Structure 1
Amino acid sequence: MKREIGISIYPDRSELKTDQEYLKKAADLGFTRLFISMLEITDTKEKTKEKFQSLIYFSRKLGFEVMLDVAPSIFTDLEISYDDLSFFAELGAHGIRLDVGFDGFKESMMTYNEQGLIIELNMSHDIAYLDNILSYQANTSALYGCHNFYPQERTGLPYEFFKSCSERFKKYGLKTAAFVTCASKDQGPWDINDGLPTLEMHRHLPLTTQVKHLFATELIDVVIIGNGYASDEELLAMSKVNRTQIEFGYEPTTTQTDLEQKILAEQHYRRGDITEDVIRSTQVRVKYQEEANPLNTESHVFQVGDIVLGNDTFGKYKNELQVVLVAHEDSRKNKIGTILKEERFLLEYIYPWSKFRFQKQ
């Protein structure tokens, strides 16, 4: 399934002009999903329609798929029937996200709505919620899943729980989404905003690291910035994240050579017959077997996350690239760089035959 990136807008806490400027920047960088919260609305049905309609149609013209976050109170306050979702279609939305679920049968009926709207389910519950809906023969082509975000520090999902919840949706091939948080805390649904990630472990990580991690899990198809507004630098950096494989940010050694730069720029993959101590990329030693690589002056005591290359003393293993998983010493290898500290946990997602790349910082 195609992997996408997205942003969030909170119309009841923002200005239309500012939102439009933000949307234009994001669209120009390849962002394609827009999450819009309706949980805070206090206006009448007519005023709500006027406010949201202009924003949504502007977004659609930029190529965004627009999902509205709704709760049962929205249906009550705006006098909307679950059997008639035409109000959301008139706003221009592609679908609605049900922040709170119902009995399963109601969700299944909603997937057959005459307006052709997507029904997006809350993924952040490790229960048989989706199975119940599907037991009522729901239209799976109209079903998405999207996790919650968590504005309060220390309330985000733990990873193993997130994984279990997500697997319930992925096994049925549904499109899934989750949230990451940018440094800004200006925009969000509530007065508390300690960032808006799905995973608690992401709350203080760089935005790009959060994105890399969610894609690396292979459980999430769409990564959305939960809060706003992300800076121009953050939007640009997120747009450049490799969505198909992990691309480790690394710091080069001060003695890095042209050969090392060339090898680091190659496409790498881990050997299928793995070892616990290092990740081995062996094809580069074949391609560069004739290239000289003398012993360098860097330390030959290696730590986890170091990137090393077999030197001229290593015989047939000369110019084999390895990433260190267990600290060790070996003078037959040259240290050529170090994976960024905040990204070293991503090494556990490099499986047998996994593809990976490096990006100089």
Structure 2
Amino acid sequence: MRNLGVSIYPEKSDVEKDKQYLTLAKENGFARVFTCLLSADKPKNELVQSFKEIIFYAKELGMEVILDVAPTVFDRLGISYDDLSFFADIGADGIRLDAAFDGKREAALTYNAYNLKIELNMSNDIDYLNNILSHQPNKENLIGCHNFYPQKYTGLPYDFFVKCSERFKDQGIRTAAFVTCQGGTMGPWDINDGLCTLEEHRNIPIHVQAKHLWATGLIDDVIIGNGYATEAEIVQLGALNRYILELDITLEGELSDIEKAVVLSEQHVRRGDITEFLVRSTEVRKKYIDSSIAPRSPQKQEVGCVVIGNDNFGKYKAELQIVLKELPIDTRKNNVARVNSDQVFLIDYITPWRTFIFKESSN
């Protein structure tokens, strides 16, 4: 199950605005809430009051709440690792361990009396998880989540992110990572250049960040790290297909009804015997074998172009292709659309036999 989440910071925000934000998120299919005790430095009774009200509101909405903690939080609040009642009493569903223990401690925490989830920090390429698993934890209560990085140029590089994530995914552990909204200024610290996991995400649209994380096949839950995302961003994320790679496209010229149907109304599957020049969706040929696709004025085939075989292409009529390398003009193909420039990189994730769809861009 893939989920969306938002982050709230009760020690820095207004409770009524937080409630409105959570309500909007829930209405758009969000199911998780991240919040942080690392930066909360108020007295214990004040923390309980500020966190408890908003956490219980999230619970009324049916949302899962995970609290970010570290050994310093346990020490500051006088919480015993053998008694997690403090977190249960304020309504949390789990705690995220920002810092590691010795493996044995994490395993023991998964058997806590309140059945709280124990979320591990995924942003380290070390044998941390296997150490915990060697101590026989309750895997039902074990989940993982990457860090976010408030300072620009400090986020994870992609290859490192993959290695870290694979350690958890290979063990069947539920995973999560952060994306950043572009206008949000709220986070746990005084520096907030965006709160994303991957550095390459910092300045791209939030829905493209989410598509990328899901396209990797390594991340289950996508959480907005900073606040507040705009209503438009929340709605756009909520409308995403979480399981099929969906590419936003701009249609080229006036398309026939058949061309529009091939592009926008079909689920496409890349052939298993791939070529380096094209993504080929060939099953659609069968459905439209008796339909006419009139040739259009031929154009150069550039990377990201979407083309369809026309009536001059014989048995390949109605085959849909995405261009991977620049190709010469071919009068047998009609240029019908172009993948939006900020999503061309996602074409690399259309692996053999992978299903993908197109959505006409609203821009």
Residues 55-110 of structure 1, C-alpha deviations (whole Å, 9 max, x = no match): 11100111111000011111111100111110000011000000111111111111
SS of the residue corresponding to residue 96 of structure 1 reads strand
Q: Offset at 1:275?
A: 1.2
Q: Offset at 1:284?
A: 1.3
Residues 139-175 of structure 1, C-alpha deviations (whole Å, 9 max, x = no match): 1111000000001111000000000000000111011
Task: Pick which of 185-194 and 145-154 moved more.
Answer: 185-194
Distance in 2, matches of 1:168 and 1:97, equals 17
Distance in 1, matches of 2:44 and 2:195, equals 28
Partner of 2:221 in structure 1?
222
Contact 2:184–2:229 (CA under 8 A) maintained in structure 1: no
SS of the residue corresponding to residue 334 of structure 2 reads strand
Partner of 2:283 in structure 1?
283
Between Structure 1 and Structure 2, how many residues are aligned? 359
Q: Offset at 1:217?
A: 0.5
Q: Offset at 1:273?
A: 1.3
SS of the residue corresponding to residue 208 of structure 2 reads helix
Distance in 2, matches of 1:128 and 1:255, equals 55
- Paired AA for residue 310 in structure 1: G
Residues 23-82 of structure 1, C-alpha deviations (whole Å, 9 max, x = no match): 000001110010011111112221111111111110011111100001111111110011
Q: Offset at 1:256?
A: 1.8
Partner of 1:15 in structure 2?
14
Question: Does structure 1 residue 139 correspond to structure 2 residue 161?
Answer: no
Residues 165-224 of structure 1, C-alpha deviations (whole Å, 9 max, x = no match): 000001110110000001123211111111111000111111111000000111000000
Q: Offset at 1:298?
A: 4.7
Contact 2:150–2:196 (CA under 8 A) maintained in structure 1: yes
Question: Does structure 1 residue 346 correspond to structure 2 residue 353?
Answer: no
- Paired AA for residue 290 in structure 1: D
Distance in 1, matches of 2:243 and 2:40, equals 38
Contact 2:298–2:331 (CA under 8 A) maintained in structure 1: no
Structure 1 residue runs without a partner (length 5+): none
Contact 1:95–1:120 (CA under 8 A) maintained in structure 2: yes
Contact 1:185–1:194 (CA under 8 A) maintained in structure 2: no
SS of the residue corresponding to residue 237 of structure 2 reads helix
Deviant stretches of 4+, over 4 Å = none
Q: Percent identity?
A: 51
Partner of 1:194 in structure 2?
193
Partner of 1:358 in structure 2?
358
SS of the residue corresponding to residue 175 of structure 2 reads strand
Partner of 1:213 in structure 2?
212
SS of the residue corresponding to residue 346 of structure 2 reads helix
TM-score (norm 2): 0.98
- Paired AA for residue 332 in structure 1: R
SS of the residue corresponding to residue 52 of structure 2 reads helix
Partner of 2:336 in structure 1?
336
- Paired AA for residue 147 in structure 2: N
Summarize the alignment of residues 88-237 of structure 1 with structure 2, pairs less than 5 Å apart: 88-237=87-236
Contact 2:298–2:333 (CA under 8 A) maintained in structure 1: no
SS of the residue corresponding to residue 101 of structure 2 reads coil
Q: Offset at 1:257?
A: 1.8
Contact 2:180–2:196 (CA under 8 A) maintained in structure 1: yes
Partner of 2:40 in structure 1?
41
SS of the residue corresponding to residue 11 of structure 2 reads helix
TM-score (norm 1): 0.98
The RMSD of aligned alpha carbons is 0.8
Q: Offset at 1:255?
A: 2.4
Task: Pick which of 44-53 and 241-250 moved more.
Answer: 44-53
Distance in 2, matches of 1:119 and 1:44, equals 25
- Paired AA for residue 288 in structure 1: Y
Distance in 2, matches of 1:298 and 1:210, equals 34
Contact 1:124–1:148 (CA under 8 A) maintained in structure 2: yes
Distance in 1, matches of 2:270 and 2:42, equals 56
Distance in 2, matches of 1:108 and 1:215, equals 28
Question: Does structure 1 residue 315 correspond to structure 2 residue 314?
Answer: yes
Distance in 2, matches of 1:105 and 1:79, equals 21
SS of the residue corresponding to residue 153 of structure 2 reads coil
Partner of 2:241 in structure 1?
242
